[in-house]
Structure 1
Amino acid sequence: MLTHFQYNQLYKNTQIPGWNISFYFNKQKYNGIYHQNGKVEWTSTSPSAEDEIKLMEQIHELMLYHVYDH
């Protein structure tokens, strides 16, 4: 489970989609850019392929809740 999830607009113009994200997973911090199409571009060490599948589901749900549903 990921913890301490944070996101910030990537661009000053809020009409342009893109967000910097950060969180902890298994005691390691991860950073990335969440794109409008749901893909994450890792700006830190990327998680293992197995962990990335699990994380993408959780990240997508959090972004839907925090960005798109509000």
Structure 2
Amino acid sequence: MLTHFQYKKLYENTQIPGWNFSFYFKKQKFNGIYHQNGKIEWTSSTPNAEDEVKVIEQIHELMLFHVYDH
């Protein structure tokens, strides 16, 4: 489960999509960039391979809820 999920716009120009995000997972902080097409670019270490798929699914759900479903 992701905790302390935060996101903010990547660019000051709000017409350009992209968001920085951060969260904690298993007591480790992760950072990344969420692109308009849903691609995730990790700017910190990545979750281990067995957890990464679940983490990415949770990030997609959170971004859909917070950004697109407003």
Specify if TM > 0.5: yes
What's the TM-score once normalised by structure 1's chain length? 0.96
| Structure 2 alignment gaps of length 5 or more | none
Give per-residue Cα distances to partners, 1:29-60, cap 9 Å, x unaligned. Answer: 00000011111100001111211100011000
What's the TM-score once normalised by structure 2's chain length? 0.96
| Structure 1 alignment gaps of length 5 or more | none
The sequence identity of aligned pairs, in percent, is: 80
SS of the aligned residue for 1:46 comes to coil
Distance in 1 (CA, whole Å) between partners of 2:25 and 2:3 is 6
Provide the aligned C-alpha RMSD in A: 0.6
Greater than 6 Å deviation, 4+ residue runs = none
SS of the aligned residue for 2:21 comes to strand
